[in-house]
Amino acid sequence: MIARIIDRGRGPEIEGTRITVYDICDYMRGNWHRDAIAATLRLSSAQVAAALEYIERHEQEVLAEYDKIVEREARGNPPEVQARLNAIHEKWQATLASRQPQQALTSHNQTPGGQQRRWPRLRNWALIAVRTMPNCGGSASTSRLF
């Protein structure tokens, strides 16, 4: 398979992936070896080499666009978007907090409402099966299994 760089409208990317040459720039600026980049991004060395060659051939335009991307990321979200994200996060945290005490109070054989389960859980069935087997019931070896 020949590694190629294509442009589907998101900027130059490695064919067959969603990884752009700007993703490779992050690692390139960190002085990562080609094989380390490939292993991290689950690419072949040839794919990374093709991206690095593309960056080298179009260095000025790629690095200019990359700098714009880095600057945009550093600015963060607009205030109205960040406010909505914060509200969603707080709502999610409240939902998680309300669920934790409920889960801690229930035993393994009770429903969340506190009622006894009609059928024991699978682990209990396994204990029942082992204890009723000849030469296994209640021995030290079965207590280590569970």
- What's residue 105's pLDDT? 46
Asked if 55 and 62 touch (Cβ cutoff 8 Å), the reply is yes
pLDDT in tens, 82-130: 999 999 999 999 988 887 655 544 455 555 566 665 555 555 555 555 5
Tell me: pLDDT of 6 over 80.
yes
61-70, 75-84, 95-104, 129-138: least confidently modelled range: 129-138
- What's residue 97's pLDDT? 86
CATH of the domain at 51: 1.10.10
Phi, psi of 117 (to 5 degrees): -70, 145
- Number of domains, the chain: 1
Which carries the bigger pLDDT value, residue 98 or residue 50? 50
83 to each of 73, 77, 86, 87, 94, how far by Cα in Å? Answer: 17, 9, 5, 6, 17
Containing structural domain, residue 60: 5-75
Which carries the bigger pLDDT value, residue 25 or residue 102? 25
- What's residue 141's pLDDT? 47
pTM for the full predicted model:
0.58
Q: Name the amino acid, one letter, at 99.
A: R
Tell me: pLDDT of 143 over 50.
no
Give CA–CA dist 68/49, Å, rounded. 24
Assigned domain for 65 exists: yes
Assigned domain for 127 exists: no
Give CA–CA dist 38/51, Å, rounded. 11
